[in-house]
Chains A and B, each alone.
Chain A
């Protein structure tokens, strides 16, 4: 079972390419929240669905570097498998 938020994040990352957490929140139309998106991303990273790296900051920049997320091969396979599964289930239960 792929949780709804993880599915949404994987879909966005696969379709639109690597993104920062805040970009994911902005593009999700309220489905993802700023306070919890990184917890979800951390869980997905520990499952091997996404990987992340810190952005390279300009030496003059003030503040912390953000993390950019991209889907792993496993994450993309999981998304394809999930899409196939839901399609098959939908076909089976179709009246």
Chain B
């Protein structure tokens, strides 16, 4: 097998054609040219392999943060997955092993929400002034649907924050229960006042539950 052929196969899983052509293949070509230049000397060949493999795996880890790669089509679920794994790893290393549970809980909730929307697709209610807002990590600014999918998000977020800051567990739980009652009351009031089509977006009443 040609040196680097296996790396090329791995790269196909992570990167699209453009990124492979401009970044990955030249990196592997360097490995191959160094190996060819090393000749039969085993020590030199080992050194060339080591440097080439280090370069390739560095590339795998830095590519999710390569800003110019945003315009590439199929920018790569693999890249996103690697980026998430790197961020999780760094968080675990810096904050402690308990972050593993937070990451696991977050992943579980993400799957739950995704599964819910797969079965019950609905539009997310977006405030009229939402255009032009920049993405941010701010629970109060996160758009969630007013249905069970949104409830899963809220409960999941509360659980995750509770794991991180245990002292506010009861406060968050009480707030969630109170918020559910307020939301329920508002929904009933709007339904009675405006009939079945009670949202500005014309959301059917069945999406509440």
Residues of A whose CB lies within 8 Å of any CB of B are 20-22, 33-36, 38-39, 41-43, 45-47, 52, 62-67
Contact A65 B27 (CB under 8 A): no
Cβ distance B40 to chain A, nearest Cβ, rounded Å = 15
Contact B3 A35 (CB under 8 A): no
Contact B32 A36 (CB under 8 A): no
Cβ distance B77 to chain A, nearest Cβ, rounded Å = 19
* Residues of chain B from 174 to 201 with CB closer than 8 A to chain A in the complex: none
Residues of B within 8 A of A47 (CB): 68
Query: Do A39 and B29 form a contact, CB below 8 Å, given A34-B54, A64-B4?
Result: no
Residues of A within 8 A of B63 (CB): 39
Query: Do A35 and B56 form a contact, CB below 8 Å, given A64-B29, A64-B32?
Result: yes
Contact B58 A64 (CB under 8 A): no
Residues of B whose CB lies within 8 Å of any CB of A are 2-4, 19, 22-30, 32-34, 36, 51-52, 54-59, 62-63, 66-69, 71
Query: Do A39 and B4 form a contact, CB below 8 Å, given A63-B32, A64-B28, A65-B29?
Result: no
Q: Which of A36, A45, A52, A63 contacts B29 (CB 8 A)?
A: A63
Q: Could you write out 5 A-B pairs with CB less than 8 Å apart?
A: A35-B59, A39-B66, A47-B68, A66-B30, A67-B29
Residues of B within 8 A of A63 (CB): 2-4, 29, 32-33, 36
CA distance in complex: A67, B66 (Å) = 19
Contact B33 A39 (CB under 8 A): no
Contact A36 B22 (CB under 8 A): no
Cβ distance A71 to chain B, nearest Cβ, rounded Å = 17
CA distance in complex: A35, B53 (Å) = 9
Contact B62 A39 (CB under 8 A): yes
Cβ distance A60 to chain B, nearest Cβ, rounded Å = 12
Contact A38 B62 (CB under 8 A): no
